Amino acid sequence: AKKIGVLTSGGDAPGMNAAVRAVCRAALARGMEVVGIKRGYNGLLNGEIIEMNARTVSNIIQRGGTCLYTARCPEFRNKEGVQKGADKCREIGLDGIVVIGGDGSFRGAADLSAMGIPCIGLPGTIDNDISCTEYTIGYDTAMNTAMEMIDKIRDTAQSHDRCSVVEVMGRNAGYIAINVGLAVGAEAVITPEEDYDLDAICAKMQKVMKSGKTHFLIVVAEGVGKTEEITKLIQEKTGVETRATILGHVQRGGSPTVRDRVIATQMGYHAVELLEKGIGNRVVGMRDNKIYDVDIQEALSMTKPFEDELYAILNDTAF
């Protein structure tokens, strides 16, 4: 019988547990053995391996974070590290590994696949910044958390004459910002992908203030890197009391949404189907709303369009 491992690597995201659970249960259902590898590639090198049965993954589908822990592993970036990882796999008798993480983790998975250990990558990050897939595990939960937080900020901002500038996560991408901005009815969304004109935003604010609007909400993606500066400028230019809120790591936690749990489960299941056939060096993703898989090198060379349409809609409905 085949024996496979599963690990989470890089940043954590809600829904990773659902993916681990699906990998474990799907493999067991096919008569395969499963082990969990703790702390990303570190656990492979250090032998932090746990035997998994169906009960090991009980009661985790609803939990944020990752029960396998996650870490970065600098040693895996060089050939000796990967060689050591491949040797460990042979020692343990692993016929494949499911790696849940981001592009960096997929590079490690490609290197390990090249050394004869078939690896399948699953996209796990709240940022949705992985090009080969329309959707990443954790994205929906993070957006819902940010939306709920901003709704609360709006309640208090609305009670005063105030402008709230809210920074959301997303690393260098503005996917969370544009979707959440639309969902909370922000007056403007500032992302790394699109040019912005603060003077124009402030001019619009001043214009609608004359007709009685008293509160404003601006969503800024962390990747812009200028939240404090933007906040100060808006107050200077409009005279409206303006406060910045940085939502931060709350967006990484929490119980995963239906969408994250379902897609994590589908992706985990698909990964096991591939490994069962001995197929490796693939990333599982979503394309045209369907689960698919793609060669890792190809996945890493892809680019993905930004939400230009949402951006245009937001700008036409914001004021």
Q: Is 293 annotated as a binding residue?
A: no
Q: Given its phi and psi angles, is residue 34 left (phi above 0), alpha (psi -120 to 50 degrees) or beta?
A: beta
Catalytic residue among 111, 127, 129, 260: 127
- Please report how close the Cβ of residue 120 comes to ligand ADP at its closest, in angstroms: 14
Q: Residue type at 86?
A: A
- For ligand ADP, the binding residues (CB under 6 A) are 9-11, 40-41, 72-73, 76-77, 101-105, 107-108, 111, 125
Closest C-alpha to 261, from 49, 13, 74:
13
CA-to-CA distance for 319 and 259, rounded, in angstroms? 31
Closest CB to ligand ADP among residues 109, 184: 109
Closest CB to ligand ADP among residues 123, 181: 123
DSSP-derived 3-state class of residue 48: coil
Q: Is 265 annotated as a binding residue?
A: no
CA-to-CA distance for 214 and 115, rounded, in angstroms? 62
- Please report how close the Cβ of residue 152 comes to ligand ADP at its closest, in angstroms: 29
Task: Locate 162 and state its tokens.
Answer: 């105030």
SS (H, E, C) 5-37: EEEECCCCCCCHHHHHHHHHHHHHHCCCEEEEE
Q: Is 127 annotated as a binding residue?
A: yes
- Please report how close the Cβ of residue 79 comes to ligand ADP at its closest, in angstroms: 9
DSSP-derived 3-state class of residue 49: strand
Q: Is 249 annotated as a binding residue?
A: yes
Answer yes or no: 127 catalytic: yes
- Please report how close the Cβ of residue 113 comes to ligand ADP at its closest, in angstroms: 11
Q: Residue type at 137?
A: I
Q: Residue type at 276?
A: E
Residue nearest to ligand ADP (CB): 104
Q: Which is it for strands 162-168 and 216-221: parallel, antiparallel or unpaired? A: parallel
Closest CB to ligand ADP among residues 23, 82: 82
Q: Is 190 annotated as a binding residue?
A: no
Annotated binding-site positions: 11, 21-25, 72-73, 102-105, 125-127, 154, 162, 169-171, 185-187, 213-215, 222, 243, 249-252
Q: Which residues carry a binding-site annotation for substrate?
A: 125-127, 162, 169-171, 222, 243, 249-252
Detail the residues annotated as belonging to a binding site for ADP.
21-25, 154, 185-187, 213-215
Active site (catalytic) residues = 127
